[in-house]
Structure 1
Amino acid sequence: MSFWGAVGLGVAVAVTVVVALLLRARDGRVRAGGGHTGGWALAERPPAAPDRVLLLQLSSPVCTPCRQTAAVLDELTGRTPGLVHVELDVADRPDVARELGVMRTPTVVAFDRGGAELLRVSGVPRSTDLLSGLESALSG
């Protein structure tokens, strides 16, 4: 391998490591909502009387973190009144992923009762972070 070939390989490896570290740092972090609306309609489920917040999970069938996310959200919704979890397969509903600008699975987008986006998480969310971010919507 030539000197410049080795330099190019080194640069490619360094860039890959930096990108991987950035993605890992963002994994599971709660971010402010992107301003999308119509969450309940996208889930094809109108809110029932006690429903306050929809957690719309976009998943894919071969995604191991998607199964972990579903377990976290099922447990969380089971113990939190007013919280609803709906999981959509992006292979079956690519229109929803496109509309919400979702680029990876799992992604969870939270919507208030009126359908406005509250927050989103890419990767496996932490229950405490989600509840903290949704506190005002769940209590209001």
Structure 2
Amino acid sequence: MAAKHITDASFHADVISSEKPVLVDFWAEWCGPCRQIGPALEEINNELAGVDIVKINIDDNPDAPTRYGVRGIPTMILFKNGAPVATKVGAAPKSQLKSWLEGELA
């Protein structure tokens, strides 16, 4: 299953109100590292059942990145029970992203 693309308008329903932990990938079309980690996040989304991975384009949706202090991209913020609990900035290999996420979910 592909990572869902969300918007500022759907952020509350898709992330804050989610019963499962949600990893939000803040990205942009012009960001090379964002495109680099995209396939890895798609694979992790298929491999880990306990978390939903969503993507939000910061150019089209400026409210959420501003609200959560996103300064550089890619930035991934893990939300649990509607609150941000962990942040990872920058591209990393799939193995690092997955082990970071698994550690935060444990």
Instruction: Give TM-score scaled by structure 1 length.
Output: 0.59
1:108 to 69, 76, 80: 76
Give the 3-state SS of the residue equivalent to 2:59 in structure 1: coil
Tell me the residue number matched to 1:27: none
Amino acid at match of 1:73: L
Higher percent of residues as helix: 1
CA distance in 2, matches of 1:118, 1:81: 19
Q: Which residue of 1 aligns with 2:86?
A: 119
CA deviation map 1:8-35 (0-9, x unaligned) = xxxxxxxxxxxxxxxxxxxxxxxxxxxx
Larger radius of gyration: 1
Q: Deviations over 1:105-129 (max 9, x none)?
A: 10000001x2111101001242212
The structure 1 segments of at least 4 consecutive aligned residues displaced by more than 6 Å after TM superposition are none
Distance 1:90 1:116, change over 3 A: same
Give the Cα separation in 1 of the matches to 2:104 and 2:12: 21
Structure number having the greater strand percentage: 2
Q: Which amino acid aligns with 2:41?
A: L
Quote the residue 2:38 is aligned against: 70
Q: What is the CA RMSD across the aligned residues, in angstroms?
A: 1.7
Q: Distance in 1 between matches of 2:62 and 2:35?
A: 19
What is the total number of aligned residue pairs between the two structures?
91
Q: 2: CA distance between counterparts of 1:90 and 1:57?
A: 10
Q: Give the residue type in structure 1 aligned to 2:104.
A: G
